[in-house]
Amino acid sequence: QAVVTQEPSLTVSPGGTVTLTCASSTGSVTTGHSPYWFQQKAGQAPTTVIYDTNGRPAGTPARFSGSLLGGKAALILSGAQPDDEGDYYCLLSYSGVRVFGGGTKLTVL
């Protein structure tokens, strides 16, 4: 089974920009992996932030965007807010089998 790797932790200043990445042990991440990004706050179920590489569900603020960068999936947060603190997980698809990354703990400080 593939291994999906994320940064364990990142810190961003309020109003700043941060990029979270998601790498696959099998090689470059492509749109075929249908990257998802989820946000999870303490004690809550996850919520979808980005679907299919760069799709933004209706409830996701426009400051979140998704893309492919340097062979990885990326979640870019522009204009970070204190409410954006939490754990972020990417999810990749391998012929229908999904694999989560280990998660990134994002601190807004």
Partner 1 sequence: QAQLVQSGSEVREPGASVKVSCKAFGYPFTGYYIHWVRQAPGRGLEWMGWINPKNGATKYAQKFEGRVSMTGDTSLATAYMELSSLNSEDTAFYYCAPERGRLGFDPWGQGTLVTVSS
Could you give the CA distance from residue 16 to residue 50 in angstroms, rounded to a whole number?
19
70: left (phi over 0), alpha (psi -120 to 50) or beta: left
Is 60 or 68 the residue whose CB approaches partner 1 more closely? 60
Is 9 or 13 the residue whose CB approaches partner 1 more closely? 9
Q: In angstroms, what is the minimal distance from the CB of 53 to partner 1?
A: 12
Q: How many other CB atoms are there within 10 angstroms of residue 1's CB atom?
A: 8
Q: In angstroms, what is the minimal distance from the CB of 84 to partner 1?
A: 17
End-to-end CA distance of the chain: 36
Q: In angstroms, what is the minimal distance from the CB of 103 to partner 1?
A: 4
Which residues here bind partner 1, judged by CB under 8 A?
A: 1, 36, 38, 40, 45-51, 55, 57-58, 87, 89, 91, 96-103
